[in-house]
Amino acid sequence: MTRTPAISVSHLTAHLGYWLRYVSNHVSHAFARKLEAQGVTVAEWALMRELFGVTSVSPSGVAEKLGLTRGAITKLADRLIEKGLATRTRNVKDARGQSLALTASARRLIPKLAVLADQNDAEFFSHLSLEDRRTMERVLKETVKVRGLKSTPVS
């Protein structure tokens, strides 16, 4: 017969990271489906969120905040600009730097996207008690804080 493995299966499934990834993948995937109709991807939405509520941001700044490289932001921003959702302007004071900002069109679109995000959250998490929901939110935010954003790639 088959030998009992040296490590139990239950041990294997106990990793928080595993479940996090599993659930997150499903949630993101479902959200992507919803965003599709609006011609926006999840990564683009994430960038739009960063640009929202602020006058303008440097690509490097967003890169650090989102934990992406500058190159990745360039490409994401390119796509938003192509879609008329963002603008890129060279800084006057220091012409090496740039500023990313949302267009009026993007600002009009965001509430719609936020509704989709609400719907998606509800679809997956509406069964949670208020307490569980709060714990999740708190734990996730704490983790971000405790871990910091220092994991950001350098180049």
Residue ranges binding a second copy (CB under 8 A): 2, 5-9, 11-31, 42, 46, 49, 52-53, 55, 67, 107, 110-111, 114, 117-118, 120-121, 123-125, 127-128, 132-133, 135-137, 139-144, 146-147, 151
* CB proximity list for 13: less than 8 A, separation 6 or greater: 19
Cα–Cα nearest to 100, from 80, 119, 120: 80
**If contact means CB under 5 to 8 A according to the sort of partner, which of a second copy, DNA, none does residue 81 touch?**
none
First to last CA, the chain: 52
CB atoms under 10 Å from CB of 62, counted, come to: 22
Residue nearer to a second copy on the CB measure, 55 or 96: 55
* Contact with DNA (CB under 7 A) among 51, 77, 80, 109: 77
Residue nearer to a second copy on the CB measure, 78 or 123: 123
- Measured over the CA atoms of residue 57, residue 60, residue 66 and residue 72, the dihedral's sign is positive
Quick check: 50 and 85 in contact, CB under 8 A?
A: no
By the rule CB under 7 A, 84 interacts with DNA = no
**If contact means CB under 5 to 8 A according to the sort of partner, which of a second copy, DNA, none does residue 98 touch?**
DNA
